[in-house]
């Protein structure tokens, strides 16, 4: 009997606990539902229609703007962030010279280049431009006008002058090369080698005596009548050129290349019978130098 009474007590306590839990859950649900109804306005039962753009407005916007992005901006399709990007892009097109891209992609052939104040004539190169006149700066219009007018007058005058007076190239004086001469080097201590020219080449391969040539040049054979004679040593002083000038412009040239050694100085002596050329040696003074023709054959 005592155990049965305990079972009834436990069952009653459990039933009361479950009832309390159910009541608390019901009250909590009602309180949350009431708070949601108070925070939101009551539903009127009418649905707000979606705003639409009239068709005639779409047509006017489409005809007004050729840019599809601007058209979408006015319709409200894209956001302000895209609009700000669009404005940045347009500003970069108006002032492209603020970036390095402008300098690498400037195209002057397209409507005079970008909007940086430069004109087509400012891109012209390889011609002089007048910057100042009498201390004052010359404007671009004056410079352009001068460049357009001045060359035309110069070209026209020069072309007329060329037609009236054709250019004549100067004739080079004829040159005859001396191949016959006497070589003398006894190997003395003074170190002087001598070249004697007693004949000069004439027309048709013939030879003319030095005395006859002087008479032909000066009509008298005196020592005061001396022709112009040039002696040219190479930079290393191992070759020599002797040039004789005649009155009619003809040149007579003797070329010795190479010599046996280096030459210090060269002197000439004109007489009625011959032309004597003395070579003062710079080295091997007491050694008799061979004939220049033999020196050339030995070097080859």
Phi, psi of 288 (to 5 degrees): -75, 120
Enumerate domains of the chain plus CATH numbers. Answer: 175-283 (2.60.40.790)
Task: Tell me the mean pLDDT in the region 190-205.
Answer: 91
Per residue in 8-47, pLDDT tens?
Answer: 777 788 888 888 888 888 887 777 666 665 555 555 555 5
| pLDDT at 150 (0 to 100) | 47
- Judge whether residue 5 has pLDDT over 80: no
| pLDDT at 190 (0 to 100) | 92
Per residue in 231-261, pLDDT tens?
Answer: 999 999 999 999 999 988 899 999 998 898 9
| pLDDT at 145 (0 to 100) | 56
| pLDDT at 12 (0 to 100) | 80
d(CA 267, CA 229): 10
- Judge whether residue 189 has pLDDT over 50: yes
d(CA 148, CA 144): 6
Closest CA to 177 of 210, 205, 154: 205
- Judge whether residue 212 has pLDDT over 80: yes
- Phi/psi-derived region of residue 111, left when phi > 0, alpha when psi is between -120 and 50, beta in every other case: left
- The more confident residue out of 161 and 182 is 182
Task: Tell me the mean pLDDT in the region 156-173.
Answer: 65
- The percent of residues in the chain predicted with pLDDT above 70, rounded, is 51
| Residue 1 pLDDT level (bands cut at 50, 70, 90) | low
Per residue in 73-128, pLDDT tens?
Answer: 777 665 555 555 555 555 555 555 555 565 555 555 555 555 555 565 555 666 66
- Judge whether residue 154 has pLDDT over 50: no
| pLDDT at 47 (0 to 100) | 52
């Amino acid at each position: 009997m005592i155990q049965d009474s305990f079972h009834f007590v436990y069952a009653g306590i459990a039933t009361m606990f479950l009832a309390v839990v159910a009541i608390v859950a019901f009250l909590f649900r009602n309180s949350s539902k009431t708070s949601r109804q108070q925070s939101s306005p009551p539903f009127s039962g009418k649905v707000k229609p979606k705003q639409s753009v009239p068709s005639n407005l779409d047509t006017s916007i489409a005809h007004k703007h050729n840019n599809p992005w601007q058209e979408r901006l006015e319709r409200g399709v894209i956001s302000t962030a895209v609009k700000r990007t669009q404005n940045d892009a347009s500003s970069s097109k108006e002032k492209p010279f603020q970036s390095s891209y402008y300098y690498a992609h400037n195209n002057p052939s397209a409507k005079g280049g970008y909007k940086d104040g430069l004109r087509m004539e400012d891109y012209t190169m390889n011609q002089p431009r007048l910057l100042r006149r009498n201390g004052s700066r010359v404007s671009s219009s004056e410079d352009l006008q001068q460049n357009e007018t001045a060359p035309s007058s110069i070209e026209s005058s020069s072309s007329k002058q060329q037609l009236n007076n054709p250019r004549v190239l100067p004739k080079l004086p004829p040159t005859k090369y001396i191949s016959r001469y006497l070589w003398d080097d006894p190997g003395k201590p003074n170190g002087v080698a001598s070249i004697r020219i007693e004949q000069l080449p004439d027309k048709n391969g013939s030879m003319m005596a030095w005395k006859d040539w002087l008479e032909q040049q000066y009509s008298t054979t005196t020592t005061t009548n001396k022709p112009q004679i040039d002696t040219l040593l190479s930079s290393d002083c191992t070759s020599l050129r002797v040039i004789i000038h005649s009155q009619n412009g003809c040149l007579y040239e003797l070329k010795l290349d190479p010599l046996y050694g280096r030459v210090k100085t060269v002197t000439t002596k004109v007489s009625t019978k011959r032309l004597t050329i003395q070579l003062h040696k710079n080295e091997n003074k007491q050694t008799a130098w061979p004939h220049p023709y033999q020196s050339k054959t030995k070097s080859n």
